[in-house]
Amino acid sequence: MKELDDKLASLKASVKTDADNCSKLKNELKQLNDAIQDIVDKGKAELTFITSKKCMEKIEQSETYLKQNSFQVESSLTFQADRDFQQYLSKLSGLGKIVLSTKETLVLVDPDQALTVQGKSEYNVRLQSDSVKNCYIEAICVLSDDEILVADNDNKKVKLLNHQYQVVGHCDLNGDPWDMCKITPSEVAVTVDDYWTHKVQFVSVNGGQLVKGRMLQFQHECIGIAHIMQDLYLTSGTALYKYSMKGALLTKLYEDTSDEFTGNI
């Protein structure tokens, strides 16, 4: 657009110059014509020759200018694309992609608000490979793509469900899963605890499959878990611990020696 504006300004300036030149020649010829008429009326023969010479020069100058500008020129503006840029665009599969960014926000809920159950549905998430007939679901987590993960405590598995609540993937754990929380849009952290094992196992969803990632080992029991900012909060049954994501203990926030602090976070 700037280039077109500059070209238009240049064309307007050229037309204005031609119009000014024509107007100037017209005025000069008219002045000479008036001067000749005045000289003839007054009978000044000696000035007639000089005036006629100047008039002939101006007429010749005008005719020369008219000859130079008498032909018509057809002009057109066209856009010539950069071939290198066209070749670059032809190699692209698209001009970009749409990325959905999510951010967890803390929603304050009235603790005295009454909840009403609108309905209830039951689904069977048992697998043929399960060692125990009944599935004891200790935790559930929904990822950003509406992928549903459940922790089956009795069968020591994390199971991936589709929107019809059918099991489409699972991963085996070497302990009992008690709780889990979302870490990223495609990753959860699961507390795994039994008599020999006290750890947090990270599990991610990749192409519809569950993949086990890093593992954090602890000296205390790991029951409940929550993730806020870059910190993990773990409950052991009697205490609440705060850890960095690298597994370093930041604070032992709470301990109840009466053994009543047994809930998940």
Six token digits for residue 27: 């005025």
DSSP-derived 3-state class of residue 139: strand
CA 99 to CA 101: how far, in whole Å?
6
Domain final position from 14, 36, 68: 68
**158 and 49: one domain?**
no
The number of folded domains in the chain is: 2
The domain of 55 spans 2-68
Residue 165 lies in a domain: yes
**In this structure, is the dihedral angle defined by the CA atoms of residues 243, 249, 253 and 259, taken in order, positive or negative?**
positive
> Model confidence over 106-142: pLDDT tens digits?
667 777 888 888 888 888 888 888 877 788 889 999 8
Residue 115 lies in a domain: no
**Residue 125, H or E segment:** none
Residue 103 lies in a domain: no
CATH number at residue 221: 2.40.128.630
Round the average pLDDT of the chain to a whole number and report it: 80
Domain final position from 28, 46, 68: 68
**144 and 64: one domain?**
no
261 — pLDDT class (breaks 50, 70, 90) = very low
pTM score of the predicted model = 0.52
177 — pLDDT class (breaks 50, 70, 90) = very high
**60 and 149: one domain?**
no
DSSP-derived 3-state class of residue 233: strand
Residue 123 lies in a domain: no
Contact by Cβ (8 Å): 225, 193: no
DSSP characters over 148-166: EEEEETTTTEEEEE-TT--
